[in-house]
């Protein structure tokens, strides 16, 4: 297993991490990333295996659990109930309860609402250049998930601000300022949700929060802490990744001259430039993994962005091919932590991008887009366009 060094905050890497992945790929399915001090899986085969191997998981073995500083404890008190950070049996119970509320029928029924919202957002944009992220890619998914949860539209800005502050905890350039902002957002978010949950308990509505309150499996319901964390997770995950995917996707579409949005195109957008590039797993027992000797307490980084450009799986992997024959990608993860919101994300992208090209058939870039410096996420700072 070879060792490679690459700062995740290096400007060239931030703008284009794929050449580094290609370089590391020459050594095989896995490599040692010295900046992270971690074994990294980068082939589709290795990433898919790591995501599904029950000898690895999201929860740290107790004796290796990182010490949490007092000033960030409120943030991690919420994370402690997140199904994204848990393993069976608790994960199984939480995910089962969420899936009872987050049904495919409920998601499919949102299509007319997503289309109407997309048209409303674009209707007020004139011929002047505008930032597509700020005016369209951000408000569309956050409003959809807020409505799905049963939160008023006028809270969307607060939800967006809280979510952005919390998700910032997972980037490479984390600072004390970012941590303090995340804790403040966490506490404000919890206070607001506590009131929402109390209101929904008294007067249930046809929304996801009411459904989560009512959801029951084998006589068990979500506790209040589990309920708040689940709503926060659904909101944060339900819009953050979609914003980046939409921004990255429109960039790729405009650069390639795409004129038609299809389900095939949506899959290629997610394969070509996904929003999440690194998803880590703890090792639970001593194992050999694609030639690497792993011990209990080690961590393995699944490089989703690299797996999506594996030349063993995809012809011309570094090319954006709108009508590429769809093959499974890892943008939504895999195994028991496969993204619960994948059907919603696909629907938002399909409908939102279709409306965008219909309303603005002459859309073009007016300045070169730049990616923001927050690896493990990979998304644009802004996307200045003009119709």
How far, in Å, CA of 34 to CA of 195, rounded? 46
Q: What count of other Cβ atoms lies within 10 Å of the Cβ of residue 341? A: 23
For residue 174, the model assigns a pLDDT of 86
- Which residue range forms the structural domain that includes residue 51? 3-386
Q: Which of 123, 151, 147, 152 is nearest to 136 (CA)?
A: 123
DSSP code, position 109 = T
Residue 268 CB neighbour total at 10 angstroms: 27
Spatial distance between the Cα atoms of 55 and 254, rounded to a whole number of angstroms: 43
Check residue 218 and give its pLDDT.
65
Distance (Å, whole) CA 114 – CA 110: 6
Do 230 and 160 form a contact (C-beta atoms < 8 A)?
A: no
| Dihedral angle sign, alpha carbons of residues 260, 131, 267, 94 | negative
Q: How distant is the alpha carbon of residue 130 from its chain centre?
A: 25
Overall number of domains in the chain:
1
Backbone angles phi, psi at 89, to 5 degrees: -85, -15
Judge whether 115 and 206 are in contact, CB under 8 Å: no
DSSP per-residue codes, 272-302: HS-SB-EEEEEE-S-EEETTEEE-TT-EEEE
CATH number, domain of 292, equals 1.10.630.10
Give the span between the Cα atoms of 194 and 91, in whole angstroms.
Answer: 23
What is the chain's pLDDT, residue by residue, as a tens digit (387 residues)? 999 999 999 999 999 999 999 999 999 999 999 999 999 999 999 999 999 999 999 999 999 998 999 999 999 999 999 999 999 999 999 998 888 888 888 899 999 999 999 999 999 888 899 999 999 999 999 999 999 889 998 888 899 899 989 988 987 778 999 999 999 999 999 999 999 999 999 999 999 899 989 887 667 788 889 999 999 998 888 788 899 999 999 999 999 999 999 999 999 999 999 999 999 999 999 999 999 999 999 999 999 999 999 999 999 999 999 999 878 999 999 999 999 999 999 999 999 999 999 999 999 999 999 999 988 889 999 999 999
Q: What pLDDT sits at residue 111?
A: 96
Q: Establish whether the linkage from the previous residue to 89 is cis, with ω within 30° of 0.
A: yes
Distance of alpha carbon 347 from its chain centroid, rounded? 15
Sign of CA dihedral 314, 319, 322, 328: positive
Reference 24, options 306, 285, 253, 295; nearest CA is 306
Predicted pLDDT of residue 220: 78
């Amino acid at each position: 297993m070879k060792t490679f060094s690459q700062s995740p905050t290096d400007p060239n890497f931030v703008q284009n991490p794929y050449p580094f992945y290609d370089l590391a790929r020459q050594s095989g399915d896995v490599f040692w990333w010295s900046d992270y001090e971690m074994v990294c899986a980068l082939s589709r085969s290795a990433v898919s295996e790591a995501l599904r191997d029950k000898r690895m998981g999201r929860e740290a073995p107790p004796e290796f659990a990182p010490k949490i500083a007092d000033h960030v404890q409120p943030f991690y008190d919420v994370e402690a109930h997140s199904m994204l950070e848990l393993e069976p049996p608790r994960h199984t119970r939480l995910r089962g309860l969420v899936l009872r509320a987050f049904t495919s029928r409920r998601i499919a029924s949102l299509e007319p609402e997503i289309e109407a919202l997309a048209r409303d957002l674009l209707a007020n944009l004139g011929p002047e250049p505008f930032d597509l992220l700020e005016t369209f890619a951000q408000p569309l998914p956050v409003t959809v998930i807020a409505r799905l949860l049963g939160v008023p539209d006028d809270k969307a800005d607060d939800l967006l601000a809280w979510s952005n502050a919390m998700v910032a905890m997972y980037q490479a350039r984390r600072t004390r300022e970012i941590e303090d902002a995340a804790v403040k957002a966490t506490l404000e978010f919890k206070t607001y949700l506590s009131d929402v949950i109390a209101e929904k308990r008294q007067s249930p509505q046809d929304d996801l929060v009411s459904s989560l309150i009512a959801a029951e499996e084998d006589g068990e319901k979500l506790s209040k802490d589990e309920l708040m964390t689940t709503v926060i997770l659904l909101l944060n995950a339900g819009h953050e990744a979609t914003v980046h995917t939409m921004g990255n996707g429109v960039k790729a579409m405009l650069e390639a001259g795409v004129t038609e949005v299809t389900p095939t195109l949506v899959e290629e957008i997610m394969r070509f430039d996904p929003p999440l590039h690194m998803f880590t797993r703890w090792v639970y027992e001593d194992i050999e993994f694609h030639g690497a000797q792993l011990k209990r307490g080690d961590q393995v980084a699944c490089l989703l962005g690299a797996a999506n450009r594996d030349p063993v799986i995809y012809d011309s992997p570094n090319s954006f091919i709108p009508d590429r024959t769809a093959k499974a990608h890892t943008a939504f993860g895999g195994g028991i932590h496969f993204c619960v919101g994948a059907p919603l994300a696909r629907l938002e992208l399909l409908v939102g991008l279709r409306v965008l090209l219909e309303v603005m058939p002459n859309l073009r870039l007016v300045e070169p887009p730049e990616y923001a410096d927050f690896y493990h996420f990979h998304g644009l700072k802004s996307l200045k366009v003009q119709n």
